[in-house]
Amino acid sequence: MTQLRTVQVLGGGSAGSSAHVRSLASGLVARGVRVTVCAPAELDRAYDFIGAGAHFVPVPRRNDPATVAALRNACIGADVVHAHGLHASVRAMLALSGGVRTPSLVTTWHTRSHVDGARGGLLRLLERRTARAAAVVLGTSSELVDRARRSGARDARLAPVTVPASRAPVCLHDGKARAELGAVDRPLLMAVGALVPERGYGMLLDAARVWRDLDPQPLLVIAGEGRERAAMQRRIEAEGLAVRLIGSRDDVAELLAAADVAVLTSRWEARSPLAQEALRLGVPLVATAVGGVPELVGDAAELVPWGDAAALAEAVRGLLADVDRRMDLAAAGRVQAGTWPTEDETIAHVLSVYDELSDRR
């Protein structure tokens, strides 16, 4: 039997999609599949695709002729090219166009854009083109599957992605981590994600202003980097908010485990890595009821409307005042996490799609 060969293509690579590709590469290699990962060079430094057993080809996040040609060369002889996200899907579609024996194209939609105006129209056009070009579109939430079908996908399927759990040992309410963050004698709230408008940090800072009257005042720690950092820091200082921006961290699970409450305020999410990690650890979660979040967390989190800072502030205030409710959510979170597909099941499902397409060929 001929060895299956797949090429995994990443664009900018969100934390969730990059971790998924790393997991996928490791699991596929262990099952005898030849895997090549094509992505910006910095992603291999962060996720070590080579260490997972994959061949790595650095491909910049551009669609210029040289980049497309490099990707086309990497795809020669592949059975399946699997693109993750819109930018990677566009690049893969261009690389595979006009080939004599083109591999099957699979694309996973991990998220969606909320851009308006001319750029938003262009992104929707590219969504339609890549959806129609793919043999199979995998959506990480039911909403994304429906969106792919409306965009003209020939075959759109639900493929929930479970972000691999942290392999580092964690300790709930770890005193050392809390001391490092400055929350020894006060509640600790934790948010994680890039400092960009889509994460809803304006809403979160509005809520932090409300928490100033609590005694003791909770400390909100935000792990992540992005273009909004300077503006957020200016507002934190101007309003005297108990908020710390600690930048990108590679010990997020340990910091999250030390928190009393995790907070997710994104405008849209499918399978939020923060929500998954919080529920696995048994950290109570307050999240916006958007996208695939309700589907992911079930009844194991407090959900609030997007943009409603008052509802967010009240939900967090209520949890901090109710130990029993926090304990109930912690237990429910671990139960809910047990309903998600395991890492092995996620890999097996993707491999079954590859095998199906190879049989058709």
Could you read off the pLDDT of 33-76 as tens digits, one per residue?
999 999 999 999 989 999 999 999 999 888 888 999 999 999 99
Mean pLDDT of the region 337-349: 94
For residue 209, the model assigns a pLDDT of 96
Q: Which residue has the higher pLDDT, 16 or 319?
A: 319
pLDDT recorded at residue 75: 95
Residue 174 confidence (pLDDT):
77
Structure tokens at 156: 């759109």
User: Please, how many CA atoms are within 13 Å of residue 83, restricted to the half-sphere of its CB?
Assistant: 31
The answer to whether residue 163 scores a pLDDT higher than 90 is no
Question: Which residues have CB under 8 Å from 237's CB, separation 6+?
Answer: none
Question: Residue 203: which pLDDT band, with cuts at 50, 70 and 90?
Answer: very high
Please say if the pLDDT value at position 361 is more than 80: no
CA 131 to centroid of chain Cα atoms:
20
Check pLDDT > 80 for residue 1.
no
The total of other beta-carbon atoms located within 10 Å of residue 327's CB is: 12
Residue 208 has pLDDT above 70, yes or no: yes
pLDDT above 70 (res 169): no
Mean per-residue pLDDT, 130-153: 96
pLDDT of residue 308: 97
State the chain's mean pLDDT as an integer.
Answer: 92
State what percent of residues in the chain have pLDDT above 90: 80
Q: What does the alpha-carbon distance between residue 85 and residue 129 come to, in Å, rounded to a whole number?
A: 13
Q: Which position has the token pair 């040992």?
A: 169
Buried b (16+ CB within 10 A) or exposed e, 229-254: beebeebbeeeebbbbbeeeeeebbb
Which pLDDT belongs to residue 99? 64
Res. 183 pLDDT band, cuts 50 70 90: very high
- Is 104 buried (19+), middle (13-18) or exposed (0-12) by CB count in 10 A? buried
> Do the Cβ atoms of 205 and 286 come closer than 8 Å?
no
Percent of the chain with pLDDT over 70: 96
Sequence letter at residue 11:
G
Where does the pLDDT of residue 311 fall: very low under 50, low under 70, confident under 90, or very high at 90 and above?
A: very high
The tokens describing 336, both together, are: 């809910």
Task: Please check the confidence at residue 149 and state whether its pLDDT lies above 60.
Answer: yes
Burial of residue 303 (number of CB atoms within 10 Å: 0-12, 13-18, 19+): middle
Judged on CB neighbours under 10 Å (0-12, 13-18, 19+), 18 is buried
Rounded to whole angstroms, how far apart are CA atoms 359 and 348?
A: 16
Q: For residue 46, give the 3-state DSSP assignment.
A: helix
The reported pLDDT for the residue numbered 13 is: 62
**pLDDT tens, 89-122?**
999 999 998 765 689 999 999 988 776 778 778 8
- Establish whether the linkage from the previous residue to 216 is cis, with ω within 30° of 0: yes
Which of 170, 142, 172 shows the shortest CA–CA distance to 158? 142
Residue 12 has pLDDT above 80, yes or no: no
Span 321-326, mean pLDDT?
A: 97
List for the chain the helix, strand, coil content (%; round to 5): 45, 15, 35
> What is the distance between the alpha carbons of residues 89 and 127, in angstroms, rounded to a whole number?
9
The model scores a pTM over 0.85: yes
C-beta separation of 159 from 350 below 8 A: yes
Q: Can you tell me which residue has the tokens 């129609």?
A: 132
Helix, strand or coil for residue 100?
A: coil
Q: What is the predicted pLDDT for the residue at 327?
A: 96
Convert 270-323 into a string of H (helix), E (strand) and C (coil): CCCHHHHHHHHHCCCEEEECCCCHHHHHCCCCEEECCCCHHHHHHHHHHHHHCH
